[in-house]
Amino acid sequence: MRPPSRQILSVEDAFGRNSWHCELVEGRDVLRAVFSGHHTRIEMVVQAYTPMNALAVMGEMPLPLGEEHQPYLLELLARANKSLNLGGFEFDLDRQRLVFRITNIFEKELYDADIVSSMVHCAVAEMDRLAPYAMTVLRTPEDLLDDLDLKRLLQREDLIPPVPGDEEEDYL
């Protein structure tokens, strides 16, 4: 069994600096963690690709989806991806999981903790933002799916989680 790389150990250190619990996957350059968002629980998989100094952060959640709902969810993800600058949504058809993936290539073997933290924050925020829209598609009765306006659904701000700190500003 090979030891963890310097790259994944620097990611583990970044998690520790943020007081985030994570577990190294034995024999692989992978960390696993779980985050609680406003709308959902996000399972995080973080993988270092040592030969090219890349890091992939993937937030996932189970989303059991019937065949009749799949085209609507895939369109929802395509529409959501159009507005993203970093990362992207995927649906793993085999495992029935909604996934957000963000990747970065680093200059050095030791990954910058601020960039790692930003990647994790981005993955959690995007998964938490899209979860209620995906659940709306999932809960729409089959006979009403054709009436679902996905473009308008993505514009609903009442489903977006509050930005930390905004609640206090509203009070002032």
Taking the C-alpha atoms of residue 172 and residue 168, their distance in angstroms, rounded to an integer, is 7
Confidence of residue 163 (pLDDT cuts 50, 70, 90): low
Report pLDDT for 170: 44
CATH code of the domain occupying 6-163: 3.30.1460.10
> Is the confidence at residue 89, as pLDDT, over 50?
yes
- Does 143 have pLDDT greater than 60? yes
Instruction: For residue 43, give the DSSP letter.
Output: E
Q: Compare 100 and 159 and report the one with higher pLDDT.
A: 100
pLDDT at residue 73, rounded to an integer = 97
Q: What is the pLDDT of residue 109?
A: 84
CB 4 within 8 A of CB 29: yes
Interatomic CA distance for residues 64 and 84, integer angstroms = 24
pTM of the full structure: 0.89
Burial class of residue 83, CB neighbours in 10 A (0-12, 13-18, 19+): exposed
pLDDT surpassing 70 at residue 165: no
Query: Model confidence at 166, in pLDDT bands (50, 70, 90)?
Result: low
* pLDDT over 50 at 171, yes or no: no
Domain boundaries, the chain: 6-163
At 36, which amino acid appears? S
> Does residue 80 have a pLDDT over 60?
yes
- Residue found by looking up tokens 């085209």 in the block: 71
Cα radius of gyration rounded to whole Å, the chain: 18
Q: Summarize pLDDT for 16-54 with one digit per residue, the tens.
A: 999 999 999 999 999 999 999 888 999 999 999 999 999
Q: In the predicted model, what is the mean pLDDT of the chain? A: 92
SS3 content of the chain, % helix, strand, coil (to 5): 45, 25, 35
State which H helix or E strand residue 35 sits in.
strand 30-36
Residues 6+ apart with CB under 8 A from 77: 89, 90, 91, 98, 130
pLDDT of residue 169: 46
Q: What residues contact 110, with CB distance under 8 A and at least 6 apart?
A: 6, 7, 10
